[in-house]
Structure 1
Amino acid sequence: MSHTPVNHPARPIYRAIGGLVGLYFVVFGVLGIIVSAGNDVLAQDDTKVLGQGTNLGFSLLSVVLGAMILLGVVIGRNLDVAINQWLAYALIALGLAELALLQTSANIFNFSIMTDIVVLVLALVLLMAGMYGKVGTDQEHEEWQKARLVL
């Protein structure tokens, strides 16, 4: 896409921010697994980790998402950009769906309003990291600069 920055000067910082988001999901997930051990996978109870509602299912999902983000950050080569963008869109969809189902029995991941806020904010941060972390050739950078000046 011509409007996505290529070789942004702050891309190492955005890559690190993406890594921190992944690390947060892993830590949250591991703590959630420890706290919700012995409960049903999709239990709807008062289990909280770091002030957020969770259950074993969401904790496991958090570990998997965090590991995918960290793997993308380690590999680089624009794989992190793709992973960050796609997972950000998926997390936004999950956050909005859980927000709609928050007070119903369909709240399968035991979200609280705080969990929803954190997931949506982290999704936007991850999307930002994905948008500004793209690496390319000098020619792609020049094309992006030219397209940016036209807009």
Structure 2
Amino acid sequence: MAHTPVNHPARPIYRAIGGLTGLYLVVFGVLGIITTAGDELFAQDDTHVLGQGTNFGFSLLSVLLGIVVLVGTVLGRNIDVAINQWLAYALMAIGLGSLAFIRTDANIFNFSVFTVIVMLTVSMVLLMAGMYGKVGSEEEAEAFQKARLVL
């Protein structure tokens, strides 16, 4: 995309922020697995981890998504950019969808309002890391600069 910066000077910082976000997801998921061990997969009770409502299924999903983000961060080469952007959109959809079903039996991940806020914040951080972490050749960076200066 022409509006996505290439070789942004702060891209190592954004890549680290993406990795820390993945680490947060893993830590939250592991704590959730420990807390909800022995419960049903999609139990709807008052279980909270780090202030967020969760159940065993959402804890497993958090660990899986966190590992995917961490693997993308380690691999780099714009793989992390794609993973962060697509995962950000998926987390936005999950967060907004669960907000619609928060007080119904369809709340399969046992979300609370605070969980929705955290999921939307995590998705925005991943989207930011994906937008500014793109690496390219010098020609691509120069083309981006020229296109930016024309606007």
Q: TM-score range by the shorter chain?
A: over 0.9
1:126 to 2:126 alignment: yes
Distance 2:129 2:100 in 1: 27
CA distance in 1, matches of 2:144, 2:82: 18
Could you tell me how far apart the structure 2 residues matched to 1:84 and 1:150 are? 29
For 1:123 and 1:150, locate their aligned partners in 2 and report how far apart those are by CA, in whole Å: 31
**After superposition, where does 1:130-149 map in structure 2 within 5 Å?**
130-149=130-149
Tell me the SS of whatever aligns to 1:130: helix
CA distance in 2, matches of 1:43, 1:90: 22
Partner of 1:49: 49
Q: Which residue does 1:25 correspond to in 2?
A: 25
- Cα distance in structure 2, aligned partners of 1:18 and 1:60: 20
Q: Secondary structure at the match of 1:139?
A: helix
* Structure 2: tracts of 5 or more residues without a match: none
Aligned to 2:114: 114
Shift of 1:32: 0.1
Deviations 1:47-81 (A, max 9, x none): 10000000000000000000000000000000000
| 2: CA distance, partners of 1:149 / 1:103 | 49
Specify the code of the residue in structure 2 equivalent to 1:91: L
2:79: which partner in 1?
Answer: 79
Q: Which ranges of structure 1 fall in alignment gaps of 5 or more residues?
A: none
CA deviation profile, 1:95-122 (whole Å, cap 9, x unmatched): 0000111111100000000000000001
Which residue does the alignment assign to 1:102? Answer: 102
Please state how far the C-alpha of 1:149 moved relative to its aligned partner. 1.6
- Offset at 1:148? 1.3
Deviating beyond 4 angstroms after TM superposition, the runs of 4 or more aligned structure 1 residues are: none
Distance 2:147 2:130 in 1: 19
What is the rounded CA distance, in whole Å, between the counterparts of 1:149 and 1:44 in structure 2?
53
Percent sequence identity is: 73
CA distance in 2 between partners of 1:35 and 1:132 (Å): 36
RMSD: 0.5
Q: Secondary structure at the match of 2:37?
A: coil
| Letter paired with 2:48 | K
- Post-superposition offset of 1:150: 2.3
- Per the normalisation by structure 2, the TM-score is 0.99
